[in-house]
Structure 1
Amino acid sequence: MKAPTPFSLCCVLLLSLPLVIVFTITNPTVIPIFTSTRNNSNKPPTKILVPIRNNKKNYDTKHKPAISTPPPPLPEDDESLFRLAARVNPKPWPTGAPKKLAFMFLTTRSLPFAPLWEIFFNQTNPKTKKLFNIYIHADPSYHYDPPFSGIFAGRVIHSKPTQRFTPTLISAARRLLAHALLDDPSNAMFTLLSDSCVPLHSFNFTYNTLIRSKKSFIEILSNEPGAYGRYVSRGEDIMLPEVPFQEFRTGSQFFVLTRRHAKLITKDKRLWSKFKLPCVEWDTCYPEENYFPTLVGMLDRRGCVPATLTHVNWTDRSDGHPRTYEASEVEPGLIFSLRRHRPRYGDDGSGSGNITESIISKRHDPFLFARKFSPESLQSLLRIAKEVIFRD
């Protein structure tokens, strides 16, 4: 047989070239991967051919796990914060989910009764923790020692300095409401408390009392002694035309609001334009005790029970402060006495002034909280907490 000539070999290669091209297109490319053996033998590494898929459809991005990103921080300027809060759903959401209570503490010091509140929040089933949220407005110009810890850790919102006889206390309460509205759509009732407040009942009693109510609890009093002096504390006729004196109201700054009323307050600009003005007569200036009752009273009196559920004793008041209960006074009899007291009811929403005796006789809302207690009374309160305060 004759050996192939160079010319014949070239012809064979040229004829085979189309077949090579077709084979390459219709079959995946392979690359060699060398795997090492587990033993120490001198065998050469095993070669495995792994196909490389060039089809883009194999990279299915639809089934990649979603990366959850934390929500952006809330704005620190009040105008932007209140604008966001004014857009929330006025009803607790989602429908059918357990409604929650928002406990909002306004303070310029570490919470002296934190151990008592810890028992209040943790005394029942752990599931109860899903039924409340805590928010703290802590004036940043003060030193907090010890810092907020336990159930209060990490619950301080962006806070700004506050000062008595100024509208800064109104701003602080509005800030708390805005954060609570935006933080959890399940927050249904919003309770404002001070660092000197203590609970008078168990969490279950408090929760059931408030969640059953479809109205806010806010004291709305008309024709109070000294009301006109408060009205003109910013100057004669300064409040007009937004707030005529006939609509000016007084009441406790400590309230419990429905979600709808909390949104209403953060949305307000009209009355705030007047109440944010500085007072020229500071000794009659208590903006936080007038703004909230006046605003809610003007816009939705019928949606309120015109009374506060935070007991306070004004019989021995001094310098605008109520009586402070000392450690020696804290005993079961005091708690029972505070529970028996009845709230003072104000405007009924009829526009006729104070509500009548017949309407008063139909209501006996329980006081749920009380103030003021001295920090030294903590141990006395803890001694009677489980057997008295939290036993309903």
Structure 2
Amino acid sequence: MQSGKMTISQAAKREWPAKLTKVLCLLVIPGMLIGLVTSLHFMDYFRDGLLQSFSGAPVQQEEHDIHVHMLGSREYQSFHHKMPDDELLWRASMVPQRPGKIPIPRTPKVAFMFLTVGPLPLAPLWERFFHGHQKLFNIYVHSLPAFEPDEAPSSVFFGRHIPSQEAKWGDISMCDAERRLLANALLDYDNERFVLLSETCAPLWNFTFSYNYLIKSHYSFVGVFDDPGPFGRGRYNERMLPEVTLQQWRKGAQWFEVNRELAIYIISDMKYYPKFQEFCRPACYVDEHYIPTMMYIEFAAQLANRSLTAVDWSRGGSHPGIYGHHDAQQYLNRIRGDQGCMYNSEPGHICFLFARKFAPNSLGPLLQHSSF
């Protein structure tokens, strides 16, 4: 053909790149779209898988809407797991092995652990106590499994109930409940001090004073004493040997406060727990002996040897005195005036931060005369 005119083969060559581009677009772009949709679906599946791994159950839409902002957080893991006790204690017992200071920003918190039967009749007093200090504390509530909490979403107790089991007075199940509370609290690495309380406990001082008292203490507050009588050494069983001797046997208040190191030891213990489970049964009340004895043997130098929760045994009987509407404030004032205790090896300090037992009808006077 003449010069300047295109042959058929030359025209085809010129059109080929454009046609190839169209073909590639038809093939690649849909594939990319499919891949993108698949990726988004996988991300959604992966997100829900994480949620399900924490809760142990399929994720409900309403639960996702409420808690998606806590995905992967220590807070979410602490309150929405379905772990059995063995797994919970195992996870909570993990500690960093690398020496030195913590390399991440951390504000030490106090874990307030409430061991209850059901409702918290003094909740309004505690609400006032905690108000404005949300960054310095966490709350954990262990109630009977059948109890259904109905706190308002605005309450500091809302959503703070941990997976629980039945706990019976004087039985090893009471110690199981205490260990369960500690383990759940240990899942949050910010928790540094751990206080065990009941639904009949009331705070004596404002939050700032109580927080500083706990965080700055060099010791943990576990009541430990040697009772030579029938309700002390008289409960000892020789089958506790060789782990526990009669000379090591101790008694103490159930209501303890410990630092993180001791809390980890309590939930990790496999040495003393089996002995107490088998050989300390009523009338050996295990919650009065297990932690005091174990702490005395392993950590005597780290204990203040007293509880921070005041209890009145002066009325006699197998249970402490109960204070109600007419005498609660008088009892509270008496406890507040006790400044005969050692604190960080210095004498003349306040002895108690909390007191029990207060009846539900004591709430009015306690609110009226509270110091916070």
Note the C-alpha offset of 1:82: 0.7
Note the C-alpha offset of 1:92: 9.7
Choose which of 337, 340, 344 in structure 1 pairs with 2:337: 340
Question: What's 1:210 paired with?
Answer: 214
RMSD over equivalenced CA pairs, Å: 3.3
Counterpart-to-counterpart distance in 1, 2:218 and 2:23: 71
Q: Which amino acid aligns with 1:85?
A: A
Counterpart-to-counterpart distance in 2, 1:130 and 1:203: 12
SS at match of 1:119: helix
Paired residues for 1:170-189 under 5 Å: 170-182=175-187, 184-189=188-193
Confirm or deny: 8 A CA contact 1:101 1:207 kept in the other structure.
Answer: yes
Residue 233 (structure 2) pairs with residue 251 (structure 1): no
SS at match of 1:188: strand
Deviates more, 1:172-181 or 1:222-231: 222-231
Note the C-alpha offset of 1:296: 1.3
Residue 188 (structure 2) pairs with residue 193 (structure 1): no
Note the C-alpha offset of 1:371: 0.5
TM-score (norm 2): 0.78
Residue 111 (structure 2) pairs with residue 79 (structure 1): no
Structure 2 CA distance for partners of 1:178 and 1:54, relative to 1, 3 Å: closer
Confirm or deny: 8 A CA contact 1:166 1:278 kept in the other structure.
Answer: no
- Rg: which structure is higher? 1
Q: Which amino acid aligns with 2:134?
A: K
SS at match of 2:270: coil
Counterpart-to-counterpart distance in 1, 2:289 and 2:274: 14
Confirm or deny: 8 A CA contact 1:167 1:277 kept in the other structure.
Answer: no
Structure 2 CA distance for partners of 1:380 and 1:92, relative to 1, 3 Å: farther
Per-residue displacement from partner, 1:169-199 (whole Å, max 9, x unpaired)?
A: 10000000000001x2100100000111000
Note the C-alpha offset of 1:55: 9.8
Note the C-alpha offset of 1:95: 4.8
Confirm or deny: 8 A CA contact 1:103 1:134 kept in the other structure.
Answer: yes
Counterpart-to-counterpart distance in 1, 2:350 and 2:278: 35
Structure 2 gaps of 5+ residues are 56-80
Counterpart-to-counterpart distance in 2, 1:53 and 1:157: 48
Note the C-alpha offset of 1:156: 0.7
Confirm or deny: 8 A CA contact 2:113 2:139 kept in the other structure.
Answer: yes
Q: Which amino acid aligns with 2:270?
A: K
Counterpart-to-counterpart distance in 1, 2:166 and 2:301: 34
Per-residue displacement from partner, 1:9-56 (whole Å, max 9, x unpaired)?
A: xx932343333335555x676979xxxxxxxxxxxxxxxxxx969999
TM-score (norm 1): 0.74
Structure 2 CA distance for partners of 1:109 and 1:167, relative to 1, 3 Å: same
Question: What's 2:65 paired with?
Answer: none
Q: Which amino acid aligns with 2:113?
A: M
Question: What's 2:359 paired with?
Answer: 374
Confirm or deny: 8 A CA contact 2:239 2:279 kept in the other structure.
Answer: no
Question: What's 1:260 paired with?
Answer: 261
Residue 137 (structure 2) pairs with residue 132 (structure 1): yes
Between the two proteins, the alignment pairs up a number of residues equal to 327
Structure 2 CA distance for partners of 1:383 and 1:100, relative to 1, 3 Å: same
Structure 2 CA distance for partners of 1:344 and 1:223, relative to 1, 3 Å: farther
Per-residue displacement from partner, 1:51-70 (whole Å, max 9, x unpaired)?
A: 969999xx9x9xxx998644
Counterpart-to-counterpart distance in 2, 1:368 and 1:89: 31
Counterpart-to-counterpart distance in 1, 2:121 and 2:32: 67
Structure 1 gaps of 5+ residues are 5-10, 33-50, 346-358
Per-residue displacement from partner, 1:316-358 (whole Å, max 9, x unpaired)?
A: 131x201111211133x4323101225788xxxxxxxxxxxxx
